Structure 1
Amino acid sequence: MAAMATHPLTVGFDLDMTLIDSRPGIKATYEELSRLTGTYIDAALAVTRLGPPLDDELANWFPPEEIPAVADRYRELYVTHAIESTPAMPGAAEAIAAVRQAGGRTVVVTAKHQPNAQLHLDHLGIRPDALIGRLWAEAKGEALRAHGAAVYVGDHVGDVRGARTAGALSVAVATGPCDAAELRAAGADVILADLTEFPAWLAGYVEAGAA
Structure 2
Amino acid sequence: MKPIAARPLVVGFDLDMTLVDSADGIVECIVYACSLQGATVDPAEVYPTVGWPLDHVFPRWVPEVDPEILMAAYRERYLTHVIPFTKVLPGAREAIAAVHDLGGRVLVISAKRGDHVEAVLAAGGMPADLVVGSRFAEAKGATLLEEGAWAYVGDHTGDVLAARHAGALAVAVPTGPTTAEELWAAGADVVLPGIEAFPDWLHQALGRYPEPS
TM-score class normalised by the smaller sequence: over 0.9
Q: Under a length normalisation based on structure 2, what TM-score does the superposition of the two structures give? A: 0.93
Conserved in 1, the CA contact under 8 Å of 2:26 and 2:50?
no
Q: Which 4+ stretches in 1 moved above 4 angstroms?
A: none
CA distance in 1, matches of 2:4, 2:105: 15
Alignment pair present for 1:177 and 2:203: no
Amino acid at match of 2:28: A
Match of 2:97 in 1: 97
User: Hey, what does 2:132 align to over in structure 1?
Assistant: 132
Aligned to 1:152: 152
Query: 8 Å contact 2:4–2:210 — kept in the other structure?
Result: no
Alignment correspondent of 2:204: 204
Aligned-pair CA distance for 1:34:
3.9
Percent of paired sites with the same residue: 45
Deviation at 1:72, TM superposition (A): 1.6
**Is the alpha carbon distance of 1:20 and 1:5 closer, same or farther for their aligned partners in structure 2, counting shifts above 3 Å?**
farther
Tell me, in whole angstroms, the C-alpha distance in 2 between the residues paired with 1:88 and 1:142.
27
Q: Would you say the 8 A contact 2:111–2:133 is kept in 1? A: yes
Aligned counterparts of 1:191 and 1:5: Cα–Cα separation in 2: 22
Matches of 2:45 and 2:2, distance apart in 1: 35
Equivalenced residues, count = 211
Mapped contact 1:153–1:159 kept (Cα < 8 A):
yes
Deviations, residues 137-179 of structure 1 (Å, cap 9, x unaligned): 1111110011110100001111000001101010001111111
In the alignment, which residue of structure 2 is the partner of 1:191?
A: 191
Deviation at 1:7?
A: 5.2
Query: How far apart are residue 210 of structure 1 and its match?
Result: 2.9
Q: Give 2:167's aligned residue.
A: 167
Deviations 1:32-61 (A, max 9, x none): 324433321222321233222111111111
| Alignment correspondent of 2:20 | 20
Q: Which amino acid aligns with 2:68?
A: P
- The structure-2 alpha-carbon separation of the partners of 1:104 and 1:42, relative to structure 1 and needing over 3 Å to count, comes to same
The normalised TM-score by structure 1 is 0.94
Distance in 1 of aligned mates of 2:76 and 2:115: 11
Deviation at 1:5, TM superposition (A): 5.1
Displacement of 1:181 in angstroms is 0.9
The whole-number CA distance in structure 2 between the counterparts of 1:158 and 1:31 is 23
Amino acid at match of 1:116: H
RMSD of aligned alpha carbons: 1.6
Counterpart residue type for residue 156 of structure 1: H
Instruction: Indicate the larger mover: 98-107 or 6-15.
Output: 6-15
Please list the CA deviations of residues 65-122 of structure 1 after superposition, one character each: whole Å capped at 9, or x if unmatched: 4212111221111111110111011110010001111121100011111111111111
In structure 1, the residue matched to 2:70 is 70
